[in-house]
A and B are shown apart, each in its own frame.
Chain A
Amino acid sequence: MSAGFQAVQWNRRKLVYDAILIGCVALFIGTFMTVGALRNPPADPLAWINLRIKAFGTCAFTMLTIILMIGPLARLSPRFLPLLYNRRHFGVLTFLVALTHAYSVVDWFAVQGAMGDLMNEMTGSPNYGKFIGFPIKALGLFGLSVMFLLAATSHDFWLAFLTPRVWKALHMALYLAYGVLVMHVALGAMQEDRRAFIPLLLGGSFALVCALHIAAAWREREATQPHDGWLTVGPPGSIPDKAARIVTAPDGERIAVFRDGDQIGALTNVCAHQNGPLGEGRIIDGCVTCPWHGYQYRLEDGCAPPPFTERLATYRVRLRDGVIEVDPTALPPGTKAAITIGTA
């Protein structure tokens, strides 16, 4: 690890990120409610609640869609990495917006003294056997519950407590929540409102999320066509100095190929600390530094500098016809494998 290790904490960049995020949410909801009220002035408090339900629901779904787009966007272009590193804040805020949407629904029933109707719909409705007419609030509650679980375990404490493997598996449930919430809207608002823009926006959002995931996976596959069993990385100059290019082995393992001046080495992309994306980090003070928590490793052998003991799997690299190639077979952690371009 790093001698200068600091746990994840608030910094100026995160504060600015959160401020922009909250500002955008406030702008979205404010604009939605203002335009909605101007187009169709609410006649009573119930109509205002209805407008609030739609504003917060639309905002939460939009935020969830953006969250799922950040991952593939960051794989397609490093410009989106700052969004990736602060995605947990985005997720927690999305849960809070969705919670306000759910609270407004309960409020809508409470104002009319019809909480019993809500309970009946959630528990004893015969419509659970139908497709059109399925109790959409149950779908919404399921999605909200998953989002609560993910927001509650988003802190690094839970990442360490649950172990990165379990934590990551748990947080993949967001895809399930998104699918359920697409159906929440498709069987709810889309059935109530016959205008064309709802299915266009809903279907478009879902298609965009799918298309970005496919594009990111396709690009990774195209970029790493094996040659004699070795993966092509590109000319040395294509690897940014003191940074890495990530290539994917045929078995799906990601390999971070770093360049430090004329030295080139390849390490597993998974940090030994909490599975952070090492290849998205930089070389600082001569060591590969994980972007998540600053854990550091020597490029030549994947070992953390003394007195630390973490070691990473390394990979053989070679310069062939002016192109850097990497052998996708992992070497034992701590094996020297880096090369200097002039002598390769």
Chain B
Amino acid sequence: MTRHHRTVHRLLWPALAVIVALGFTMALVLRPPPEQPAQSEPK
């Protein structure tokens, strides 16, 4: 891995990690209530 790659890597992955962490947290908070019937469609 060259210095250029490492620089890009160091800039990009923290930004991506923050975005994914926010998305994951939102998905967790907005989970449907337990009484809602489960969908039958596969994920």
Binds B, one of A15-23, A172-180, A318-326: A172-180
How many whole Å from B19's CB to the nearest CB in chain A?
7
Contact A132 B30 (CB under 8 A): yes
Contact B1 A193 (CB under 8 A): no
A251 with B3: in contact, given A169-B8, A175-B12, A190-B27 (CB under 8 Å)? yes
Q: Once bound together, how far apart are the Cα atoms of A104 and B41, in whole Å?
A: 12
A105 at the binding interface (Cβ < 8 Å): yes
Most buried by A among B5, B8, B42: B42
A145 at the binding interface (Cβ < 8 Å): no
List chain A residues, Cβ under 8 A from B21: 206, 210
- Which of A165, A172, A202, A254 contacts B9, CB < 8 Å? A172
A337 at the binding interface (Cβ < 8 Å): no
Which chain A residues in 51-110 approach chain B with CB under 8 Å? 53-54, 57, 104-105, 108
List chain A residues, Cβ under 8 A from B42: 49-50, 53-54, 104-105, 108
Contact B16 A199 (CB under 8 A): no
Q: Once bound together, how far apart are the Cα atoms of A190 and B28, in whole Å?
A: 8
Contact A183 B12 (CB under 8 A): no
Number of A interface residues, CB 8 Å?
Answer: 45
A131 with B38: in contact, given A136-B43, A206-B24 (CB under 8 Å)? no
How many whole Å from B2's CB to the nearest CB in chain A?
6
Q: Which residue on A lies nearest to B28, using beta carbons?
A: A199
List chain A residues, Cβ under 8 A from B23: 182-183, 186
A194 with B5: in contact, given A182-B24, A183-B20, A206-B21 (CB under 8 Å)? no
Most buried by A among B6, B7, B17, B27: B27
List chain B residues, Cβ under 8 A from A188: 43
List chain B residues, Cβ under 8 A from A219: none
A129 at the binding interface (Cβ < 8 Å): no
Which chain B residues in 7-37 approach chain A with CB under 8 Å? 7-10, 12-13, 16-17, 19-21, 23-24, 26-28, 30-32, 34
Contact A270 B28 (CB under 8 A): no
- Which of B8, B9, B26 contacts A131, CB < 8 Å? B26
Q: Digit string of A173-215 for contact with B (CB within 8 Å is 1, else 0)?
A: 0011001001101111111111000010011001000100100
A31 at the binding interface (Cβ < 8 Å): no
How many whole Å from A42's CB to the nearest CB in chain B?
13
How many whole Å from B39's CB to the nearest CB in chain A?
6
A179 with B20: in contact, given A199-B28, A251-B3 (CB under 8 Å)? yes
